[in-house]
C-alpha cells in the first residue's frame, strides 16, 4: 500500500502542476490528494460485485468469436464506415478526401466476399481496429476546436494482444482483415493476426487466466513483442504464460513466456480497497487516445480496462456501457438535483456517470463534491466575445463533475454535469 500511495502522490502532484501551468484562473476546488483517493476507495463496497458470476460472464464473452460460425454483423452494418464518403473528411495532410480516395478504400474493402473466409484467429500484438482498410486518418475540420488530432474517425478501437477474433474476409490487396472481437468489429492489419486451429484453442483455454495489472511493460518472445496494457489476458500453464506467435504461414503457435508477480495476477482480483487503488494508479495520468490511438485510452476503454481485472465485462463504447448495469435517468434534473442524486445513489467505484459521448467512474464525494475518474480530452470554454475554445486536459484524471468550474471562460452551457443524462449502477 505504501508503494501505491507513493505512486498516487506523484500522479496527483503532476496533475496539480499541469493544472497550475495551464488554466487561466484556479479551479473551484483543489485537485484530490493521494490520501483522498485512498480514503474514497475505503468507503466502497467490497462485495458490491458478484465476482464469480461476473468472471464467468467475462470469459463467455471473451471467447465468443471462437464459438461463432461467422462474423455476427449484418453486411450492411459492417459497411457503415463507407458513409463517411458523404461527409467532409480531411486526411493526414489536412486536405479534403476526394470521392476517388473513398472509392479506392470502398473497392479495397471487398465486401462482395463478406463472411466467405470465416476463420478463427488471435491478435499477436495490440492492434488498431480501423473503420476503412487504411492507416490514413479521417479528421473533421482540423482548424476547429475539438476536431482534428486526436479525433481520427478512421480509428474505431484498439484490441489487445491475445484477443480471440473471427475473420470475415480479406481486403482485395490482402493487407487487411475484417474481424470481430467480443467488443468491436472492423479492419486490422493482416500481420497483426494469426489463424488458430482447434488444437491451439484447446491449449489456449487453460481455465487458469491471469490479467496484467501493470501498464505498458515490455514482453519478449525472445525478442521484443509488445508493451502490455492493463487488462491483457494471459492463460497460464504451469509457471509459464501463453501468447500466440506466427508460424510464418499466418498460423498461430503456442509460445510460452515469463511474467513477473508485479505484472500479472490471477483473475479476478479481489474487489478490495488495495486492488482498486492498484489498478487506478496504473491508469491515471495516461495520455488521452481516441479509440485507443497511439496505444492509449479514451473514456470508455478507461472504464472497461479498470473493471476487467475484477472480472467485470464492459462494452467498448460509452453508450453501450449504459447497458452493463442498472441505468438511472437523471436527464430531467437540474445541475444541483443531479449532484444530490449522484451523492445519494452512486456507489463509489461501482457507478458509471454517462453523458452523450463520454463516460466516467464515480469514486465518491470530497468536500461535498462528487468526484469522478475519467480519461478526458478537454473542457469547452467560451470567451467574452463568444469565441469557443478548449482547455486541454488530455489524460486520465480525477476531477469534479464540473471540471473547469471557476475558470475565467467557463461555459455553463457546456458544463459536463449539465449534460449528464444517467448513472449506471454496475
List, for residues 259-309, the tens digit of each pLDDT value.
999 999 999 999 999 999 999 999 999 999 999 999 999 999 999 999 999
Give the residue-averaged pLDDT of 5-19. Answer: 46
Question: What's 312-371 look like in SS3?
Answer: CCCCCCHHHHCCCCEEEECCCCCHHHHHHHHHHHCCCCCEEEEECCEEEEEEEEECCEEE
Q: Hey, where are the domains in the chain? A: 2-49+279-425, 57-266
Cis bond before residue 222 (omega within 30° of 0)? yes
pLDDT of residue 22 exceeding 50 = no
**Which position has the grid cell 480525477?**
398
Summarize the confidence of residues 311-334 as an average pLDDT. 97
CB 406 within 8 A of CB 400: no
For position 57, what pLDDT does the model report? 97
Q: Is the pLDDT of residue 407 over 90?
A: no
Q: How far does CA 81 lie from the centroid of its chain?
A: 20
Q: Which of the four pLDDT bands, split at 50, 70 and 90, describes residue 16? A: very low
pLDDT, tens digit, 9 for 90 and up, residues 220-251:
999 999 999 999 999 999 999 999 999 999 99
Q: What is the CATH number of domain 2-49+279-425?
A: 3.90.1720.10
pLDDT digits over 361-383, tens only? 999 999 999 999 999 999 999 99
The answer to whether the Cα torsion of 298, 303, 306, 308 is positive or negative is negative
| Residue of 22 and 170 predicted with greater confidence | 170
Q: Is 36 left (phi over 0), alpha (psi -120 to 50) or beta?
A: alpha
Q: What percent of the chain has pLDDT over 70?
A: 92
Measure CA 337 to chain center.
30
- Alpha-carbon span 216 to 260, nearest angstrom: 13
Residue 145 pLDDT = 85
What confidence tens digit (pLDDT) does each residue in 44-73 have? 999 988 999 999 999 999 999 999 999 999
Residue pair 111/133 in contact (Cβ under 8 Å)? The answer is no
Tell whether pTM > 0.85.
yes
Average pLDDT, the chain: 93
- Listing DSSP states for 234-260 in one string gives EEEETTEEEEEEE-SSSBEEEEEE---
Average pLDDT for residues 319-343, to the nearest whole number? 97
- Taken as a whole, the chain contains a residue count of 426
Mean pLDDT, range 114-126, rounded to an integer = 98
Among candidates 117, 46, 107, 100, which has minimal Cα distance to 79?
A: 107
Which pLDDT score, from 0 to 100, does residue 146 have?
87
CA–CA gap between residue 262 and residue 308 (Å, rounded):
17
* Residue 335 C-alpha from the chain's centroid: 28
For residue 344, the tally of other CB atoms under 10 A from its CB is 7
pLDDT digits over 122-137, tens only?
999 999 999 999 999 9
What pLDDT band is residue 2 in, cutting at 50, 70 and 90? low
**Of 274, 277, 272, which is closest to residue 398 (Cα–Cα)?**
277
Average pLDDT over residues 129-156: 96
Amino acid at each position: 500500500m505504501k508503494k501505491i500511495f507513493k505512486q498516487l502522490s506523484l500522479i496527483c502532484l503532476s496533475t496539480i502542476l499541469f493544472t497550475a501551468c495551464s488554466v487561466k484562473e484556479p479551479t473551484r476546488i483543489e485537485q484530490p490528494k493521494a490520501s483522498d483517493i485512498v480514503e474514497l476507495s475505503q468507503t466502497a463496497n467490497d462485495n458490491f460485485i458478484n465476482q464469480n458470476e461476473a468472471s464467468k460472464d467475462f470469459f463467455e464473452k471473451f471467447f465468443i468469436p471462437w464459438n461463432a460460425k461467422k462474423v455476427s454483423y449484418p453486411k450492411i452494418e459492417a459497411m457503415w464506415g463507407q458513409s463517411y464518403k458523404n461527409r467532409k473528411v480531411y486526411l493526414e495532410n489536412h486536405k479534403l478526401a476526394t470521392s476517388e480516395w473513398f472509392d479506392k478504400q470502398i473497392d479495397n474493402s471487398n465486401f462482395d466476399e463478406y463472411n466467405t473466409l470465416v476463420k478463427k484467429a488471435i491478435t499477436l500484438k495490440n492492434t488498431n481496429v480501423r473503420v476503412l482498410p487504411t492507416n490514413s486518418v479521417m479528421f473533421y475540420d482540423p482548424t476547429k476546436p475539438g476536431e482534428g488530432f486526436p479525433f481520427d474517425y478512421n480509428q474505431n478501437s484498439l484490441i489487445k494482444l491475445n484477443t480471440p477474433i473471427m475473420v470475415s474476409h480479406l481486403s482485395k490487396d490482402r493487407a487487411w482483415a475484417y474481424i470481430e472481437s467480443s467488443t468491436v468489429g472492423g479492419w486490422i492489419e493482416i500481420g497483426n493476426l494469426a489463424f488458430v486451429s482447434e488444437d491451439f484453442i484447446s491449449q489456449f483455454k487453460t481455465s487458469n487466466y491471469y490479467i496484467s495489472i501493470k501498464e505498458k511493460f515490455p514482453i519478449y518472445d525472445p525478442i521484443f513483442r509488445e508493451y502490455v496494457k492493463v487488462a491483457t489476458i494471459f492463460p497460464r500453464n504451469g509457471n509459464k504464460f501463453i501468447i500466440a506467435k506466427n508460424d510464418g504461414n499466418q498460423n498461430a503457435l503456442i509460445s510460452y513466456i515469463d511474467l513477473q508477480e508485479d505484472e500479472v495476477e490471477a483473475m479476478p482480483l479481489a474487489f478490495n480497497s488495495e486492488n482498486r487503488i492498484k489498478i487506478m494508479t496504473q491508469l491515471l495520468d495516461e495520455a488521452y487516445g481516441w479509440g485507443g490511438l497511439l496505444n492509449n485510452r479514451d473514456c470508455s476503454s478507461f472504464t472497461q480496462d479498470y473493471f476487467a481485472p475484477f472480472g467485470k465485462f464492459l462494452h467498448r463504447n460509452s453508450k453501450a456501457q449504459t447497458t452493463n448495469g442498472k441505468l438511472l435517468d437523471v436527464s430531467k434534473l437540474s445541475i444541483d438535483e443531479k449532484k444530490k442524486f449522484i451523492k445519494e445513489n452512486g456507489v463509489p467505484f461501482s457507478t458509471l456517470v454517462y453523458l452523450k459521448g463520454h463516460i466516467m467512474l464515480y469514486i465518491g464525494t470530497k468536500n461535498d463534491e462528487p468526484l469522478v475518474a475519467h480519461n478526458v480530452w478537454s473542457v469547452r470554454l467560451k470567451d467574452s466575445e463568444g469565441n469557443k475554445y478548449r482547455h486541454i486536459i488530455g489524460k486520465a484524471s480525477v476531477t469534479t463533475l464540473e471540471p473547469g468550474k471557476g475558470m475565467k471562460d467557463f461555459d455553463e452551457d457546456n458544463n459536463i454535469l449539465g449534460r449528464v443524462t444517467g448513472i449506471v449502477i454496475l
